Amino acid sequence: MKWSLIALFLATAVISGCKSTPPVDWNGRVGTYTYDQAVTDLGPPDKQAKLTDGYTIAEWITRRSSSGLSIGTGFFSGGGGNGVGLGVGAGQSVGTSYYDKTLKLTFGTNSVLTSWSKN
C-alpha cells in the first residue's frame, strides 16, 4: 500500500510538471503592450537600439544554442594525503549565435508595441 501511494504521488508530480504555458499571442499585444511591460515580463533586453525616428527595437534571446563541453583532469596533494581527482565542466560562449532563438519587439515613440518577430 505504501509503495502504491508513493508511485501515485510520483506519477502525479511528473504529469503536473509537464504542463506548458500557452504561447503568447503577440499579434493581440500590438497596440497595447508597452516596453515597461516587456521588461517586467521578460527582463532587460539582450540588445536594444533607439532609432532616429524615436522607435525602439529590443531583442531577447529566448533560447541559446549549445556551444561546447570541456573536460579536464586534476591532481591534488595536501590535507594529509595525496590523490588524483577528475574534474568535468561545461562551457558556453558569451554572445549571440546564428542558432539562438530570439524575440524582437519594436516599440513606437509612445513605447507601445508596433511589431514583433521571432526566429
CB-based contacts of 106, cutoff 8 Å, min separation 6:
55, 56, 57, 58, 113, 114, 115, 116
**Domain locations in the chain?**
24-118
The model's pTM: 0.59
CB-based contacts of 90, cutoff 8 Å, min separation 6:
68, 69, 70
pLDDT in tens, 26-46: 999 999 999 999 999 999 999
* pLDDT confidence tier of residue 110, bands split at 50, 70 and 90: very high
Pairwise pLDDT comparison (76 vs 101), residue with the higher score: 101
The answer to whether 96 and 55 have CB atoms below 8 angstroms apart is no
Q: Rounded to an integer, what distance in angstroms lies between the CA atom of residue 10 and that of residue 98?
A: 39
pLDDT exceeding 70 applies to what percent of the chain? 55
Average pLDDT for 56-72: 74
